[in-house]
Amino acid sequence: MSTVTTPDGTVIFYKDWGPRDAQPIVFHHGWPLSSDDWDAQSLFFLSKGYRVIAHDRRGHGRSGQPATGHDMDAYVADVNVLTDALDLRGAVHVGHSTGGGEVARYVAQAKPGRVSKAVLVSAIPPVMVKKDSNPEGTPIEVFDGFRAALAANRAQFYIDVPAGPFYGFNRPGAEVSQGLIDRWWWQGMMGAANAHYECIKAFSETDFTEDLKKIDVPVLVMHGTDDQVVPYADSGPKSAELLTNGTLKSYEGYPHGMLSTHPEVLNADILAFVEGQ
């Protein structure tokens, strides 16, 4: 397996497919998944001649399961270790959900020349939790419920989430894919319970407002209007407004996991953005 090791000794697994001299596209996955959640995008962009890179966040997938470092700053520090090791330049960073927060903070701090564009898909920025500065946010009790469900029966919780709100399979008339549900469960159960528990705080309470303001490269913000995990009104439009060079693309009725339910639509739109001027 391809891995890098962080200063605290955590081994980070990654995939690196395609020509080494091609433009890199780096994918950042959501909670509690892994780089495998990007299969549809990885194969698509590989077929278009790009260098495709995706890693498993610490405590997720095939990466190490340390006791500490399950917060956004540590996640971004790990990404820096990876991009420095591969010496990636002019890369496009694409993040889904929690990975979108990781992308926002990484790109805001990236070394000159490392990043050319970014894509935020169903992403958690600017901030999810409800507070005085974000009255439209999700109440903390919802995330407390996530933690309680994970601690009580993680295996069942990891069936309930994809079978319900993640892919919108709880909507009337939804075309349910048992394969997607099983894949979600399998990815989640590969990771560490402590990492996933602590990551709930990282994705729900981290405020990316200042990160978004610092980003000067073009950013495509993609969000489904029926996102039941990261509600549309409190995320996509707000992020696009904070970005200096942001473009919002809304998807009517699409769920949080729209990259998997509608890959043919999302892949084409990401490609058009990557190849656009």
Give the separation between CA 154 and CA 144, rounded to whole angstroms. Answer: 14
Give the separation between CA 13 and CA 115, rounded to whole angstroms. Answer: 21
Which listed residue (35, 60, 256, 260) is catalytic?
A: 256
Q: Which of 100, 130, 135 is nearest to 211 (CA)?
A: 100
User: Contact at 8 Å (CB) between 187 and 32?
Assistant: yes
User: Contact at 8 Å (CB) between 82 and 58?
Assistant: no
DSSP string, 213-229: HH--S-EEEEEETT-SS
Domains of the chain, by residue range, sit at: 3-275
Q: What is the reported pLDDT for 1?
A: 83
Which listed residue (34, 35, 97, 122) is catalytic?
A: 97
DSSP 8-state class, residue 99: H
Active-site annotation holds for 211 = no
Give the tens place of pLDDT for each residue, 73-82.
999 999 999 9
Give the separation between CA 51 and CA 217, rounded to whole angstroms. Answer: 20
CATH number of 3-275: 3.40.50.1820
Counting residues of the chain whose pLDDT is more than 70, the rounded percentage is 100
Helix (H) or strand (E) holding 265: helix 263-275
DSSP 8-state class, residue 27: E
**Positions in the chain short of pLDDT 70:** none
Active-site annotation holds for 97 = yes
Active-site annotation holds for 60 = no
Give the separation between CA 183 and CA 176, rounded to whole angstroms. Answer: 13
Which listed residue (70, 227, 234, 239) is catalytic?
A: 227
Give the tens place of pLDDT for each residue, 185-198.
999 999 999 999 99
pTM for this prediction = 0.97
